[in-house]
Chain A
Amino acid sequence: MSFLWSNFGQVWNLTLSHVWLSALPIVIGFVISLPIGWVANRYRLTRAALLTIGGILYAIPSLPLFFAMPALIGTQILSPLNVIVALSIYALALMVRTTADALASVPGDVLQSATAVGFSAWRRFWTVELPLAGPVLLAGLRVVSVSTVSLVSVGALLGVPNLGQLFTAGLNGYYPEEVAVGIVMIMLLALVFDLILVGVGRLLMPWTSADRRARRLSRRAAMRAVTGA
């Protein structure tokens, strides 16, 4: 632990940039996935096309995608935008499928009831569909969150500052303790992100902890996100 205490300032700064580099892609991927997932769920043709594109994007290895970013969006190789945009693409690729599944999990008779009592399509989406799709969305977001926090560290190979720099610096200086601190900090960060997501979920959807159907659906969504099946 001596490394952590003598370099606390540096580790703290790297942690802060790690938080930004992880949080932005998670939020961006989630927000963009809502309209795209809605379209994917709405029409059978777009569903097949969008899910296939998502699957292909998700299959692209992370480090090569980081390296391809300057050629695709015209950034410098050291720019944090490479990591943010690439990880947003992964988050989006995974969340489009989850969002489509989540919206499909909303029972049809509930939607018809909402229409019958006079909800407009817009209002029905925000007040009925989205809240009921919430548990499955949350399950997908938790998978995205864990893998994003872990993948940001690969960005250190491009020279983008984050906790992954403890790995490259630890290797160059033959200092395993520095590497261990990086691993522990990243896992702690992933845990904190997960607790925040679960907490927000409890606040926004207080009914889910008692709802067994919602729990089963979110377990299945998490499994699909992991195995890709």
Chain B
Amino acid sequence: MTDILAAFGWIFDPVNWAGASGIPTRIGEHILYSLLTLLLACAIALPIGFAIGHSGRFRGLAVGLSGALRALPTLGLVVYLALITTNLSIGPPLIALTILAIPPVLAGAYSGLESVDRAPIDAARAIGMTGWQVFTKVELPLALPLVIGGIRSGALQVIATWTVAAILPVGGLGRFLIDGIAIQNYPEMLGGSIIVIVLALVSDGLFALAQKLVVPRGVTAGRVRDTTEGEARHSGRASAPEGAPTT
């Protein structure tokens, strides 16, 4: 309990709020690094994931590759890239963390597209939509909650791993943890940890909200929710866009 009080004492000490190594600067850096990493990962993983989900090809390859990437230890990859490029800027960790954020985003993208029921897709084709129209107007809106779910896991991972990347001389909230342990300052380590945890939970909450908001009007089965029935399938009736003919 005294530890936690000391940590909050550290967080609310005005001395720690000023300057280039103050809490606001570190939070800003952490958010900036994380957003940049996530954008890069999305730019790479979303098109590939959509292509796999749309065509159904190379699925096994993507699953296997994602599994292997998950076994790759973050800390090791970050340190290794920094050492072999002899570059201690944010470049090597940015590359390492982008690589590690790809699997969840990719998985969300293709499993989202795969989860879309065949009936509305066939209906869209039958009324004369082109392949691109089917993708942007039918598949993507219905898949969006799961796609965002993938980005949500990616965001959590990126926020967590930028903390670990502070083993290199980069900014971000990890500085308080890594520098705190170097000088045996437990209130600083714990205070920094609390701020990272709050940041992660806020990000997770915002993405959860986005997942709920993007569900197209009239759709109930496309929403990400817990099915108590393991065998439950999306029923064509419920997942068809509003106004579409129902079976």
Contact = CB atoms under 8 A, between A and B. Distances in A.
Contacts of B70: 143, 146-147, 150, 226
B193 A228 contact: no
SS class of chain A's interface: helix, strand, loop or mixed? helix
B229 interface: yes
Interface stretch (B19-27, B39-47, B72-80, B125-133): B72-80
A55 B205 CA distance: 11
A156 interface: yes
Interface residues of B, number: 58
A141 to B, nearest CB: 14
B190 interface: yes
A180 interface: yes
Nearest to B5: A71
Contact of A226 (B103, B196, B231): B103
A147 B153 CA distance: 14
B76 A182 contact: yes
Nearest to B158: A61
A104 interface: yes
Interface in B170-189: 174, 177-178, 181, 186, 189
A94 B214 CA distance: 25
B7 A71 contact: yes
A171 B231 contact: no
B230 interface: yes
Given A153-B73, A228-B153, A223 B111 contact: yes
Contacts of A171: 79, 82-83, 167-168
B164 interface: yes
B74 A67 contact: no
Contacts of B67: 146
A171 B92 CA distance: 13
Contacts of A226: 66, 70, 103-104, 107, 153
A63 B181 contact: no
B37 interface: no
Contacts of A47: 226, 228
A223 B67 CA distance: 10
Contacts of B73: 150, 153, 164, 167, 182-183, 186-187
A187 B79 contact: no
A63 B76 contact: no
A63 B82 contact: no
Interface residues of A, number: 60
A201 interface: no
Given A47-B226, A67-B190, A179 B83 contact: yes
A59 B150 contact: no
Contacts of B197: 60-61, 64-65, 68
B107 A187 contact: no
B9 to A, nearest CB: 13
B244 interface: no
A200 B70 CA distance: 22
B230 A217 contact: yes
B71 A191 contact: yes
Contacts of A217: 230
B192 interface: yes
B71 A150 contact: yes
Contact of A150 (B7, B72, B163, B167): B72
Given A77-B181, A170-B79, 18 more contacts: A56-B201, A60-B197, A60-B201, A61-B163, A61-B197, A64-B192, A64-B193, A68-B194, A71-B190, A101-B230, A102-B230, A147-B70, A175-B83, A179-B80, A226-B104, A227-B149, A229-B149, A229-B224
26 contacts: A56-B201, A59-B201, A61-B159, A64-B196, A67-B177, A68-B197, A102-B230, A104-B228, A150-B70, A153-B76, A157-B164, A157-B167, A157-B177, A170-B79, A179-B80, A182-B73, A187-B68, A187-B73, A190-B71, A223-B111, A226-B70, A226-B153, A227-B104, A227-B111, A227-B146, A227-B153
